[in-house]
Structure 1
């Protein structure tokens, strides 16, 4: 069901009223930050679960701090507003929630201080962002933004021009997704996803210092791999050619979920099929996000609707 309402500057309003001026600072200069939160519909429970919404809002507030944006809400209040918005829209399918905090003055001048802040949340029906059945990737000619240029730890609106350049380059050259390198030539992440490799049987991912967004799905994967598969993830620098020798590769993120990679730069990854570790983590992830694993549901899944069948408890 398409959303009928959104939340904007302290009130729930019809979606058609959710507009900003063309002179808005955040529109002109990219001076905003955002989050993407998925909600997963569980047909058996007749329940919509918001996955790790708390952690997303904690990260949003950290991004706001970087951009000198002040929001008048706590994490708890943001969770309450979000649940209420989804209820108002009566959405009972997989959805994507987009909170955006941005500089709102209609002024000319590049800066962060002395400008008023605004906030909105939208919710939309949402399926797969990228295929989860095997991606063909290329190493992008566009390098990942550096922490001393636009902080990669913050989800800064303007920073996604970097991602858009890499994504379009990949798609227009016949690939499904891009893999970006740092300026030092180390593997960083996809255009909008973290990356994991299996090398010599070991699960490896770029370290936080490789200009990655500290992904919530990335953290989820690392915990599931440790608790369910008995595999510790190594965080380290990864060279480009290690992509060509990996037994398995997968991308992950709120949008991408768990998306195995079967080819990089025309070279098959492993056998060219989805590997066993990638498949096991993907299966686990889709059970967890839909609230089908009780040991994770209470901690990671926020139910939207009040009544849940006894079978789900």
Structure 2
């Protein structure tokens, strides 16, 4: 984002003006990527702003921090409360993106990060609508492989992991595609650069499991629950690359992307080359749910006002 977001940022328990939220250039996370983060959406409705699955996102932040022994000095409840308070402080009444970030501070140049290392947590919020424009996107299979649990744990949402995604995104854009799809080290489909992936064949929905280096996506899990609630069968299993070209539908899920159809892969049209019926039904249900339009899913939402 190139412009200023909300007037205030939550920084280690205090509200700080956007322009005053600064860190030293010797911050460990700046040099080594020792940070974990979350992406959370707040959706404006007619009478409120609803934060989508706030607790689940903050719990994942804590789990990610634990993988790297990065101390998080605030409880899940404290961070959830701080998020709502920040939106109120900034008088956010439109749809927003929320970025909690926990990072290692002035630790020095050594790599022995422990739970005693100095850490900080910030929460940033800014107005946000759509990540992908249009009714469907084109994708290519990246020449870069997805990071492996044998080297850098994909289940931890760590800042450094996304250098892998940046390389894949750069490659896809250079070649004229909207997004990239990465394979794991075994050659199976893993995920897109910033989203989980689903493949529809013969009215069944398939998605890679975590052993395929996929992130434990919260929007992924939400889409699976929605699909099952509609009566669709959802199966987690390895997906070979060639199955992408044979798919009836493909869609991606993620906090920023929400639910977006992939209409072509490597120049191969997926199905009719337009959004498929199953993708559309899940996407439209998701859009109703996040704005408080479906009573049975209100437990996923945290009202701000």
Which category of TM-score, normalised to the shorter sequence, fits these structures? Answer: over 0.9
Q: Give the TM-score normalised by structure 1.
A: 0.94
In 1, the alpha carbon distance for the partners of 2:215 and 2:74 equals 23
| Structure 2 unmatched ranges of 5 or more | none
1:272 alignment partner in structure 2: 273
Matched, 1:11 2:14: yes
2:304 alignment partner in structure 1: 304
Bigger shift: 215-224 or 66-75? 66-75
Figure out how many residues of one structure are paired with residues of the other and give that number: 301
Contact kept, 8 Å, 2:139 with 2:178, in 1: the verdict is: yes
Three-state SS of the structure 1 residue aligned to 2:124 is strand
Q: How far apart are 1:106 and its partner, in Å? A: 4.9
Q: Give the TM-score normalised by structure 2.
A: 0.97
Q: Which runs of 4+ in 1 moved over 6 A?
A: none
Q: How far apart are 1:116 and its partner, in Å? A: 1.0
In 1, the alpha carbon distance for the partners of 2:184 and 2:291 equals 35
2:215 alignment partner in structure 1: 213
1:309 alignment partner in structure 2: none
Contact kept, 8 Å, 1:33 with 1:157, in 2: the verdict is: yes
Contact kept, 8 Å, 1:99 with 1:122, in 2: the verdict is: yes
Q: How far apart are 1:237 and its partner, in Å? A: 0.2
1:83 alignment partner in structure 2: 84
**Structural mapping, 1:122-201, within 5 Å:** 122-131=124-133, 133-201=135-203
Q: How far apart are 1:240 and its partner, in Å? A: 0.1
Three-state SS of the structure 2 residue aligned to 1:192 is coil
Contact kept, 8 Å, 1:186 with 1:237, in 2: the verdict is: yes
1:308 alignment partner in structure 2: none
Bigger shift: 168-177 or 129-138? 129-138
Three-state SS of the structure 2 residue aligned to 1:22 is coil
Contact kept, 8 Å, 1:262 with 1:269, in 2: the verdict is: yes
Contact kept, 8 Å, 1:181 with 1:188, in 2: the verdict is: yes
What are the superposed Cα offsets for residues 40-79 of structure 1, whole Å, 9 maximum, x if unpaired?
000x22x000000110001000001011112222211111
In 2, the alpha carbon distance for the partners of 1:272 and 1:95 equals 31
Contact kept, 8 Å, 1:49 with 1:302, in 2: the verdict is: yes
1:222 alignment partner in structure 2: 224
| Structure 1 unmatched ranges of 5 or more | 306-313
Contact kept, 8 Å, 1:143 with 1:181, in 2: the verdict is: yes
Contact kept, 8 Å, 1:52 with 1:301, in 2: the verdict is: yes
Three-state SS of the structure 2 residue aligned to 1:136 is strand
Distance 1:287 1:132, change over 3 A: farther
Please provide the CA RMSD for this pair.
1.1
In 2, the alpha carbon distance for the partners of 1:239 and 1:177 equals 18
Contact kept, 8 Å, 1:132 with 1:260, in 2: the verdict is: no
1:107 alignment partner in structure 2: 108
Three-state SS of the structure 2 residue aligned to 1:258 is strand
